Amino acid sequence: MTEIIVSKRFSFKGWSIKTWMIKNKFEVIKVAGAVVAIAIVYSAGLPAWLSGLIGLVAKFGFDSLHYFLFSIPKE
């Protein structure tokens, strides 16, 4: 069993961005999806190959985010 760390007021002792992201993984993915959607809308006037490249980079980013959030080693 892990020890719970209680920090003093106005302190981030024991706080971890990775833990926050894991506990809020669906919200993180929603925000990432919105950012990608905005990028794709802005790329609508660009050549088709560039819009496709943006979609490919977005897919890679989502897959990486999903791997980072869901592949937690068991301690």
Residue 63 located in a structural domain: yes
Q: How far apart are CA 73 and CA 40, in angstroms?
A: 34
Residue 59 located in a structural domain: yes
Would the pTM count as exceeding 0.75? no
Residue 34 located in a structural domain: yes
* Residues 12-62 pLDDT 10s: 777 788 888 778 878 877 887 888 778 777 777 888 888 788 888 888 888
* Amino acid letter, 16: S
Measuring CA to CA, how many Å separate 26 from each of 7, 37, 52, 58, 67?
26, 16, 25, 17, 13
Structure-block tokens of residue 40? 């794709």
Residue 7 located in a structural domain: no
CB 36 within 8 Å of CB 29: no
- When divided into structural domains, the chain yields a total of 1
